[in-house]
Amino acid sequence: MRRLLSRLQKNIDCSAPLAGRQANVRKSSFLFFCLHLFAFLLPALLQAATFTASLDRDTITVGESATLTLTVEGGDAKGIPAPPNIPNLQVSGGGSSRSFNIVNGQMSSSVSQSYVLSPTQPGEYTIPALTAQVGNETLSTQPVKLTAVKAASLGAANPGNAGDRLVFLKVVVPKKELFVGEVESVELQTFVRDNVANAEGILQWCDSGNGPSLKAEGFTVIKTGHARWRRAQAGNASYYVATMVAAISPVKAGPLTLGSESQVTAQIPLPNQRPRDPFFSFFNGPQVENRQLSLAADPETINVLPLPRENVPPSFNGAVGSFTMSVSAGPTNVAAGDPITVKVQLAGRGVLEALTLPEQSAWHDFKTFPPTSKVESTDPLGVQGSKTFEQVVVPQTTDIKELPPVSFSYFDADHKAYRTLTQPAIKLTVRPGGSTPAPTVAVTQRTPDNPPPSQDIVPIKERAGTLAQIGPPLLRQPWFIGLQTIPLLTFVGAFAWRKRTESLANNPRLRRHRQVAQLVRDGLADLRRFAAANQSEHFFATLVRLLQEQLGERLDLPASSITEAVIEENLRPRGVPETTLAPLRELFQTCNLVRYAPIKTSQELAALIPQLESVLRSLQEVKA
């Protein structure tokens, strides 16, 4: 800055001739003022830099992976360090992202680097504090802990426990101790061995509403969702895994149990099958044996603690979680008896639907009406977001000078303590009411004294006036002759339309190609709308559907059966270049990870649209 100012002063003194030096001085003075103003406002526009580390899941099974995200906000880091080598923990590089926002006059930028952590042994793994140089500061993250639990046992290979080896259930509970009303996410995993003939059908059954469900007596199941299928190694066998994620909240204290039971039919290919009739084998597929299996997950016990009875705030009404509060009111200049709308927003994590506003005892000089509420969740399970209350209050006297402070109390389960949120009082101006409305003056419409007489007889016209010339008949007018061609053109158009319809009916591949092209155009428009509205769940559902429809049309496969496996099974054998396969694989992985680490900003969602458009254009060039 000093070098720039000195150079500017030097230019003023000796660079221009005397005739134009005054104009240069004026321009340089304006630039000098702008530089000083920018230097004055720069500290107010920039936010303090932070360096944080977070895990998408803190408890996983051996054979699974968790994602570690290192994020620098509010500054430019010279480099984000990688996690150190930890015994029995494999670390592989993920992706990186950068974003820049200006909100309410404040600039914020963030750089994120992700790493995939894969433990090879059960145990607890601690990622130590990492240090990064951000500007002139040295920032450090907090240590994070990852817990790896042992995979479920498959049992011995004998008929008595064959069902456990083919299909089994597992309940994953991150925390074994909760408070009454606390929210926790648990998983019900269904493992299907890869040699089961109807493995895909069982996985689809698990994702439907008729699949296995949690036995959660003493809990409230808030909402459930399904993660994408994955592969896992359990013992010496390879399995497909369907995962149902549920948000639960205990309603009573004591040891409570989570489990699951279900029935399923598994089709096992018969060994050494040699059909005699090749025609029968072609149409009926391989011979299988149907086995009716009874599934039961090992129960998980959770110790539920009651809320402490000491130091309970007066405004506490049962809320458990972590929240922030903001309050606004308007109008603030009213007459006595006029309504004022008070808006209270509670944001954070907890059972949002159960949140209620406590009674405000300090509002005794107001007439209050029951509030209305609206819940806006930011995660698929509906436990993260905000609840907004709108309540109408009416001041009764002109002695009121302010709206008393609003208080809300909740129990913080992470710190095992009650907390009270309080917003300061809002200044009000209350004028005397009851003004008399202006009187209404009725105006009588006057009628003329002598209205003109009505003329009921019209005299005969004595002169005909100008006569119009008679034109040629219709048969000689060109427009009438051209009008007669309309039925012929209509017939020709209908005939052409019918031939085109018959051509599409006889060519299903062409018909599907046009339908998918229209679906892709409409879907891209929907993605931009969802990104602008920050609707992450609808955005990724539409993105996966577009990929499935485009791949299904190119590979002549049902769209519902398209998964990430088509990259290795169908696309690579066709010679599709890696420049197309790599972005496609990255999109599938992003949709898979978003179940656990949802994208929360419109900018991050919008950044995926150009990548999707590029992948769709590349897939359209794949030979059908």
Q: Average pLDDT for residues 59-85, to the nearest whole number? A: 79
Pick the closest to residue 70 from 101, 96, 108, 107 (CA basis): 96
User: 159-305, which class in CATH?
Assistant: mainly beta
Residue 21 has pLDDT above 60, yes or no: no
Instruction: Specify the fold of 50-149.
Output: Immunoglobulin-like (2.60.40)
Residue 92 has pLDDT above 70, yes or no: yes
Handedness of CA 554, 557, 560, 565 (dihedral sign): negative
Provide φ and ψ at 118, rounded to 5°.
-130, 100
Q: How confident is the model at residue 288 (pLDDT cuts 50, 70, 90)?
A: confident
Give pLDDT tens digits for 308-342: 988 899 888 889 999 999 999 988 898 888 899 99
pLDDT at position 386 is 92
pLDDT at position 359 is 81
pLDDT at position 171 is 92
Domains 50-149 and 159-305 share a fold: yes
pLDDT at position 155 is 36
| Rounded percentage of the chain residues whose pLDDT exceeds 90 | 12
Residue 205 has pLDDT above 60, yes or no: yes
587, containing H or E segment: helix 578-593
pLDDT at position 255 is 93
Q: Average pLDDT for residues 50-58, to the nearest whole number? A: 82
Pick the closest to residue 174 from 306, 54, 57 (CA basis): 57
Pick the closest to residue 67 from 58, 55, 77, 59 (CA basis): 55
pLDDT at position 330 is 84
Residue 442 has pLDDT above 50, yes or no: no
Average pLDDT score, the chain: 79
Q: How confident is the model at residue 27 (pLDDT cuts 50, 70, 90)?
A: low
Question: Is the CATH number 1.10.1740 carried by domain 316-431?
Answer: no
Q: Which 8-state DSSP code applies to residue 568? A: I
Cα radius of gyration rounded to whole Å, the chain: 36
Give pLDDT tens digits for 348-374: 998 888 888 888 877 878 888 889 999
Give pLDDT tens digits for 377-398: 888 888 889 999 998 999 888 8
Q: Which residue has 């003075």 as its token pair?
A: 29
**Burial level of 174, CB count in 10 A (0-12/13-18/19+)?**
middle
Where exactly are the structural domains of the chain? Answer: 2-45, 50-149, 159-305, 316-431, 508-620
pLDDT at position 285 is 56
Give pLDDT tens digits for 577-603: 888 888 888 888 888 877 666 666 888
Give pLDDT tens digits for 127-178: 999 888 887 788 889 898 888 877 544 333 333 343 346 888 899 998 889 9
Give pLDDT tens digits for 452-465: 555 556 566 666 66
**Burial level of 509, CB count in 10 A (0-12/13-18/19+)?**
exposed
Provide φ and ψ at 8, rounded to 5°.
-65, -40
Q: Average pLDDT for residues 290-316, to the nearest whole number? A: 89
Which pTM value belongs to this model? Answer: 0.45
| Rounded percentage of the chain residues whose pLDDT exceeds 70 | 79
In the chain, the amino acid numbered 9 is Q
Provide φ and ψ at 377, rounded to 5°.
-95, 150
Q: Which 8-state DSSP code applies to residue 248? A: E
Helices 536-555 & 602-620, crossing angle to 10 degrees? 0
How wide is the angle at C-alpha 216 spanned by C-alphas 210 and 219, nearest 5°? 125
Beta-ladder partners of 338: none
Q: Residue 393 contacts by C-beta under 8 Å, 6 or more apart in sequence?
A: 339, 340, 342, 363, 366, 367, 368, 369, 403
